[in-house]
Amino acid sequence: MKLSKLVTMLTSAGILAAGSAGGVQAQELTGTLKKVKETGSITVGHRESSIPFSYLDDKQQPIGYAMDLCMKVVDAVKAELKMPNLKVNLQPVTSSNRIPLLQNGTIDMECGSTTNSTARQQQVAFGPTYFVINVTAAVKKGSPINAIADLNGKTVSTTSGTTSVPLIKSYEKAKGAEVKEIYGKDHAESFLLMADDRAAAFIMDDILLAGQIANAKNPADYKILPESLRQEPYSMMLRKDDPQFKALVDKTVGGIMKSGEIEKIYSKWFTGVVPPKGINLNFPMTPPIREAFKNPNDKGV
């Protein structure tokens, strides 16, 4: 082979390699990645009492399963933008304000216990499903309530801005039941309404109910009803129409699932002892959760 031809081939190979290695950087930045590059910071929205997904520890720092996954995304952003010293801002959000704060740019992603629904997909986007829950109710063991139908004529608590609100209303309509709802600003407050007997039950996702019960003063006083209003997927929430950032999130989280690393992260928060009280939720991986990890997707309910 002539030297000139060899040089040409090597040069072409180098150009192709550089192009493939550049990823997003080879393109013009848009959306969240452009915002992060220009501001030098990324803002992560977190919850304060969504145990064990996103909640405050004894030092008032956000920790949890969702936070661990979101920090993996933050690391991927740092690598993609070549910004190892990227500033990470942590912004508390609630069920009621999480979508507006994402849409107006206050936060760049939301890491918590947010259901991926087709209705919400009209406003925001989601990363791959990282948990699957059943919406049900927690009650006191000493109460006569053993099924959701037993709540007819009772007052129930739920958290403002959650999917539990329309679900219990649709159940009322379908079953001819009459239920009065009172709302807590977060899951801790909603649970307290039930614990203090201001409500007969707390309607919420089974894993969040388990987290609140495990953290209660007397966990043995409560039970979770086996009946389910609906099965729902949890995902991290992203801005809509932002394909660059979503592609990075999908690749990062999907990679964690495909590699098996998700098993370790899951065990840490759902079958191990978690801070700050040293509780164990004893919530082994269910078949729907395992299926979501096997085939990463962002399908809403």
| Helix or strand run (H / E) with residue 262 | helix 261-270
Within a domain: 282? yes
Q: Can you say whether residue 155 is alpha, beta or left, with left for phi > 0 and alpha for psi between -120 and 50 degrees? A: beta
Residue 135 has pLDDT above 80, yes or no: yes
How many structural domains compose the chain?
2
Same-domain check for residues 141 and 125: no
Same-domain check for residues 151 and 93: no
Within a domain: 10? no
Same-domain check for residues 121 and 152: no
Mean of the per-residue pLDDT values for the chain? Answer: 90
- CATH number of the CATH domain containing 165: 3.40.190.10
Within a domain: 15? no
- What pLDDT score was predicted for residue 156? 95
Which two three-digit tokens encode residue 76?
Answer: 């991927």
Within a domain: 299? no
- Domain edge (last residue) among 214, 231, 248: 231
- Domain edge (last residue) among 181, 202, 231: 231
* SS3 category, 184: strand
Same-domain check for residues 37 and 106: yes
Same-domain check for residues 192 and 283: no
- Tokens 């720092």 locate to 61
- Using CA atoms, how far apart are residues 225 and 168, in angstroms rounded to an integer? 14
Q: Look at residues 35, 127, 126, 45 and name the one whose alpha carbon lies nearest to residue 83.
A: 35
- What pLDDT score was predicted for residue 11? 46
Q: What is the pTM of this model?
A: 0.82
Tens digit of each residue's pLDDT (9 = 90 or more) over 146-159: 998 899 999 999 99
Same-domain check for residues 168 and 117: no
Residues of the chain above pLDDT 70, percent: 91
Residue 299 phi/psi, 5-degree rounding, is -70, 135
Within a domain: 57? yes
Same-domain check for residues 175 and 258: no
Domain region containing 177: 133-231
Who wins on pLDDT, 187 or 170? 187
Within a domain: 16? no
What is the Cα 121 distance to its own chain's centre? 15
Query: What number is the average pLDDT over the span 18-34?
Result: 70
Using alpha carbons only, give the angle 106, 126, 75 rounded to the nearest 5 degrees. Answer: 70
CA distances from 39 to 50, 194, 229, 236, 241 (A): 29, 44, 43, 22, 20
Same-domain check for residues 98 and 175: no
Within a domain: 4? no
- What pLDDT score was predicted for residue 168? 81
- Domain edge (last residue) among 231, 252, 271: 231
Within a domain: 19? no
- Using CA atoms, how far apart are residues 256 and 296, in angstroms rounded to an integer? 10
Contact criterion met (CB below 8 Å) for 201 and 138:
yes
* SS3 category, 296: coil
Q: Look at residues 165, 160, 154, 167 and name the one whose alpha carbon lies nearest to residue 197.
A: 154
Same-domain check for residues 123 and 266: yes
Residue 145 has pLDDT above 70, yes or no: yes
Q: Can you say whether residue 156 is alpha, beta or left, with left for phi > 0 and alpha for psi between -120 and 50 degrees? A: beta
* SS3 category, 234: strand
Same-domain check for residues 242 and 264: yes
Same-domain check for residues 123 and 267: yes
Same-domain check for residues 156 and 210: yes
Which two three-digit tokens encode residue 252?
Answer: 């990062």
Residue 19 has pLDDT above 60, yes or no: no
Contact criterion met (CB below 8 Å) for 57 and 276:
yes
Contact criterion met (CB below 8 Å) for 237 and 108:
no
Residues of the chain above pLDDT 90, percent: 80
- State the DSSP code for 236: -
